[in-house]
Amino acid sequence: MIGEQAARFDHVVETFNRVRKLYGFGRIEVPVFEATSVFARSLGETTDVVSKEMYSFEDRGGDSLTLRPEFTAGIARAYIENGWQQLAPLKVTTWGPLFRYERPQKGRFRQFHQLDAEVIGAAEPAADVEVIALAAQVLAELGVDDRVVLQLNTLGDAETRGAWREALVAHFSGHLDVLSAESRERLEKNPLRILDSKAESDRALVADAPRIDAFMTSEAGAFFEAVQKGLQASGVGFVRAASLVRGFDYYRHTAFEFVTDALGAQGTVIGGGRYDGLIGAMGGPETPAVGWAGGIERLAMLIPDLAPDFARIVVVPDSPSMLEEATAIAYNLRRGKLSTTIDIAYKGNAKRRVELAKKSGYDAILFVREGSRAKDRLHLTHIGGTEAASMLLLKVLEWLPGPYRELSGDDA
């Protein structure tokens, strides 16, 4: 990753870090690899991620380790082992590389990167609203909120989910002759996942499947209503997606995805939900939690063309003998918060240097030349390109050493 791709990646991460601070989310780090059992317990032995996609290996001691395929399990393990219960409710974020062995697709690679946000130890609907609003603001400040839609659903409480699961099993069991092979397998292991099926033969069955609302307890209904009202109060728009599910029993209540049609089949850019049963299932205390993850590469592909919000200048010594002087000048400009690069190639005439600087996205060139008077040794050529560039001359003058305060300049 280099150039424009790297700049987009940086922009996503920088925006995420800025917005998460506005919401009071701290930063944590978890290991890039964990004991394989951490993911087997949290994701399930029979899932595709565990059975087909994880990079697992034995270390020198014979223990099985796995490169992390997602963040939540490692965060839950750290929460249990480090006694973070005393810090609850805990609002944390992280980002970094993840690893899955799968067919590379648009915006998805075997080493990919995600943003992650979690609220651990808060059972209230307000925590769900908080993490969703955080995601929505990240998308808005990236300038892609008009290209995504928030899909929202509820999985209810344990009683709701259990009754709904039984109804789904009964419904799909009556149509085994038309159910796809994959869905027949899911019927035994994870019937809710049939609602995710993309198979043509399953679509009519999924459309006619029982909806969770028919089995909702009053408590679960009140929780979902509170989440919806909280999102409305936060100005976060959403659509109800009754088929949006999470397959594991430790998921409760809210499930959500921010989806787009701008990336082809890979439509989800941020997805998450409430997983109140996970930490207990991993051997810790029963702990409510809600969170989300979003693909950095996918978000980077969505954002519009980047325009730098600061002026960039390149200092060009005319010869190797002027490099020391150019270095001193560049140091002063950087102290003034001007993004400054020193050109040490000494190639091409002034016109060629200007052309190269334009291609590289600079706003101005400051030539450092030989001369008897300080002000004659500097020549500023404006290239333009950002609003900040219009004030560049004053900024340069402000941070140049005293002898150079009066310099010559023109517009290229």
Tell me the two tokens of residue 257: 């995805």
CA angle centred on 373, ends 367 and 375, rounded to 5°? 50
Cβ 117 vs Cβ 292: under 8 Å: yes
Query: Is residue 362 marked as binding?
Result: no
Residue among 108, 99, 95 nearest 298 (CA): 108
71 is in an annotated binding site: yes
Binding residue per annotation — 103?
no
Flag whether 228 is marked binding.
no
What distance in Å separates the CA atoms of residue 190 and residue 187, rounded to the nearest whole number?
Answer: 6
H helical segments located in 190-322? 203-207, 218-233, 278-281, 296-302
Asked if residue 52 lies in contact with residue 66, where contact means CB atoms within 8 angstroms, the answer is no
Residue 73 CB-density burial (10 A; 0-12 exposed, 13-18 middle, 19+ buried): buried
Rounded Cα–Cα distance for residues 380 and 111 (Å): 44
Tell me, letter by letter, the H, E, C secondary structure of 121-160: CCCCHHHHHHHHHHHHHHHHHCCCHHHCEEEEEECCCHHH
| Structural contact between residues 306 and 316, judged by C-beta atoms closer than 8 angstroms | no
100 is in an annotated binding site: yes
Q: Is 306 helix (H, G, I), strand (E, B) or coil?
A: coil
Residue 57 assigned as binding residue: no
Enumerate residues 6+ apart whose C-beta is below 8 A from 81: none
**Spatial distance between the Cα atoms of 233 and 132, rounded to a whole number of angstroms:** 12
**How far apart are alpha carbons 380 and 396 in whole angstroms?**
9
Residue 7 makes CB contacts below 8 A (sequence gap 6+) with: 306
- CA dihedral angle for residue 79, residue 84, residue 88, residue 92, rounded to 10 degrees: -60
Q: How many of the other CB atoms lie within 10 Å of CB of 1? A: 12
Do 56 and 36 contact (CB within 8 A), yes or no?
yes
Q: What is the DSSP letter of 77?
A: H
Helix pair 181-189, 158-173: axis angle to 10 deg: 140
Q: Would the annotation count 398 as a binding residue?
A: no
274 marked ligand binding residue:
no
Query: ω before 288 within 30° of 0 (cis)?
Result: no
Q: Annotation-wise, does 23 bind a ligand?
A: no
Binding site, annotated residues for L-histidine: 70-72, 100, 114, 118, 246, 250-251
Binding site, annotated residues: 70-72, 100, 114, 118, 246, 250-251
